[in-house]
Amino acid sequence: MNGLKRLEYRGYDSSGIATILSNKNSISIRKSPGKIRVLEGLLGKRPLSGTIGIAHSRWATHGAPNQANAHPHLDCKGEIAIVHNGIIENFARLKDELQKDGHKFTSQTDTEVIAHLIEKFYKNSSLEEAVRKALARLEGSFALGVISIREPDKLIGARLGSPLVIGRGKDENLLASDVPAVLDLTKEVIFLNENEMAVLTKDNCRIQDLNGRVVFRNTTRINWNVSQAEKQGYRHFMLKEINEQPAIVENLLKMRIEKDSDRIIFGGECLSEARLSKIKNIAIVACGTAYHAGLAGRYALESVCNIPVSVDVSSEFRYRNLLIDKDTLVIAISQSGETADTLAGVKEAKAHGASVLAICNVLGSTLTRESDNVIYTHAGPEIGVASTKAYIVQLLTLYLFALYLAQLKGTLPQKAIKKHLDELKGIPRKQREILKRQEKIAKLARRHSHFGSFLYLGRGVNFPSALEGALKLKEISYIPAEGYAAGEMKHGPIALIDEYRAVVCIACESRVYEKMISNIQEIRARRGKIIAIASSGDDKIGKEIKEVVYIPRCGELFSPLLAALPLQLIAYHIAVKRGCDVDQPRNLAKSVTVE
């Protein structure tokens, strides 16, 4: 239970524990929706005994966060218990096959399929052999813990795409998704690699690859304290989440684009094709960073779907005289799914007969239950109050949805769609290239941390990037920062420019690049201090200014997916330099559940 509590920061909506009762040679389970302390209460009333067990706190991806869907999950006979992190993409097909074999399921989760697959293969073979055969049938990602009453001294772990660590304790061995869970008991750990399995007993730890070949692995001594370990060594959750972005984008692209056909798939969560093809206009409603994602998404939707799109902040949308009806698709974007204004906007939309599609990161949140359909962003729990990875997956989901709609409505030839998809598949590599240079960006940020106010300028698809960059800076460093359409400079903001004002100009390659250069010259003429975000290979901007962050070239439409990273890092490093509480900035909450 202590180990479970150490992982609570990773998000939970339900939790559970199973042990093998040494005397009764059976598996006993306690599980419940809600916080881990609810499970603790359960155990207080009905304690468990036993010297071997598995426990899990769930961040729901398939199946609402309730008692039935909480882990651990059992096979039909209750002889095998498993816990799982990750997403099994082919679980529906496997579940169907197993049910035809007579297996009885008790949950809607993808995880439960694994318990029944192990049961299916566990005839006349060892537990590890049965697990290996089961894993060979899975597509997707997993970090697994498995126990069985038939071999009650064994704990099996296996991983593909989700982390798993072994704790080598004194007269005990442990398995966990992350180091904090074992640090109270041992600092000696082994990080399992992809496609590896561990067979643990009290005294022994055997590691093999998924073909059964034994692998020798050294232990690592952890010198972090628990709090550092929760951030995997990063100083703040925000910095960890910034650095998680390429992997999360990669994972989402794999989930959303069918490997061979390049077909975009949203699964059952999305509106029916019949319904979508009737849509005549789209209204996007969101707050804060989610609103900025909506603004950037509008460019994609309008350019590939030829459909009119409006974007409103929820607090305005909900009070306006809305001209929407059954031909309108309202897209509500929210990381938390609990933002009061966005929920109220959805209610208004439905009262006007519009269909509502939620783009959300928290399964089972209020927004997902009040919308007609949901597309989950699968960014994992975002702990830092300043949204980073959630923003990127909101953008990516909007781009993919725009291409999906274009495919459906035939507004873009498949060849053009494929070109866009290939462009998106290159994003994670390009994001990694930017993150490789984050120390350089940090130094540039620190050189500008003394400025008392900032202006962020962008045009076209990167006008929303300017708004988002300004929001990141103001909310964690408390420095006044304004995002503006660069073309608006002459209509007022240019009066602000002097040597005390820092101006961040997003000047990636685009149809309006020359216009951005003119803005930069106007600012230089008034001694404004400029930081530019520009495309690699741009040999012109360096002649204008020296503080430039170059990002890899990419199609204009998707450039916000790259421009966001330096903007996030600039805000982060300025806030750190100013000694601000980056993960929990003053006056802010992660989810604004009140008006």
Interface residues with ligand AGP (CB under 6 A) are 287-290, 334-336, 339, 342, 385-387, 475, 591-592
The whole-angstrom separation of Cα 249 and Cα 428 is: 6
The whole-angstrom separation of Cα 20 and Cα 6 is: 23
Q: CA angle, corner 575, sides to 393 and 595, nearest 5?
A: 60
**Residue number with CB closer to ligand AGP (342 or 407):** 342
353: left (phi over 0), alpha (psi -120 to 50) or beta: left
Tokens representing 42? 């359960």
Which residue has its beta carbon closest to ligand AGP? Answer: 288
**Residue number with CB closer to ligand AGP (141 or 342):** 342
**Residue number with CB closer to ligand AGP (174 or 567):** 567
**Residue number with CB closer to ligand AGP (107 or 388):** 388
- Min. distance of Cβ 60 from ligand AGP in angstroms? 16
Task: Identify the helix (H) or strand (E) that includes residue 390.
Answer: helix 389-409
- Ranges of H-type helices in 318-413: 340-351, 366-370, 389-409
- Min. distance of Cβ 358 from ligand AGP in angstroms? 10
Long-range contacts from 134-138, C-beta under 8 angstroms, 24+ separation: 135/160, 135/197, 135/210, 136/210, 137/90, 137/94, 138/88, 138/90, 138/94, 138/114
- Min. distance of Cβ 139 from ligand AGP in angstroms? 30
Amino acid occupying residue 11: G
**Residue number with CB closer to ligand AGP (319 or 500):** 319
- Min. distance of Cβ 238 from ligand AGP in angstroms? 9
- Min. distance of Cβ 374 from ligand AGP in angstroms? 14
**Residue number with CB closer to ligand AGP (19 or 335):** 335
- Min. distance of Cβ 204 from ligand AGP in angstroms? 46
User: Using an 8 Å Cβ cutoff, are 583 and 237 in contact?
Assistant: yes
- Min. distance of Cβ 177 from ligand AGP in angstroms? 24
**Residue number with CB closer to ligand AGP (16 or 483):** 483
- Min. distance of Cβ 487 from ligand AGP in angstroms? 25
Amino acid occupying residue 151: E
The whole-angstrom separation of Cα 426 and Cα 504 is: 26
What SS3 state is found at 271?
coil
**Residue number with CB closer to ligand AGP (347 or 443):** 347
Amino acid occupying residue 305: C
**Residue number with CB closer to ligand AGP (315 or 535):** 315
- The span from the first CA to the last CA of the chain, in angstroms, equals 36
**Residue number with CB closer to ligand AGP (130 or 385):** 385
- Min. distance of Cβ 339 from ligand AGP in angstroms? 3
The whole-angstrom separation of Cα 120 and Cα 129 is: 12
**Residue number with CB closer to ligand AGP (106 or 593):** 593
- Min. distance of Cβ 176 from ligand AGP in angstroms? 29
User: Using an 8 Å Cβ cutoff, are 231 and 412 in contact?
Assistant: no
What SS3 state is found at 299?
helix
The whole-angstrom separation of Cα 551 and Cα 464 is: 17
- Min. distance of Cβ 585 from ligand AGP in angstroms? 9
DSSP state of 193: P
Buried b or exposed e, range 325-345, using 16+ CB within 10 angstroms: eeebbbbbbbbbbbbbbbbbb
Question: What Å distances lie between residue 339 and 9, 208, 290, 365, 469, CA to CA?
Answer: 20, 46, 11, 10, 21
User: Using an 8 Å Cβ cutoff, are 403 and 264 in contact?
Assistant: yes
User: Using an 8 Å Cβ cutoff, are 197 and 145 in contact?
Assistant: no
Q: Report the chain's C-alpha Rg in angstroms.
A: 25
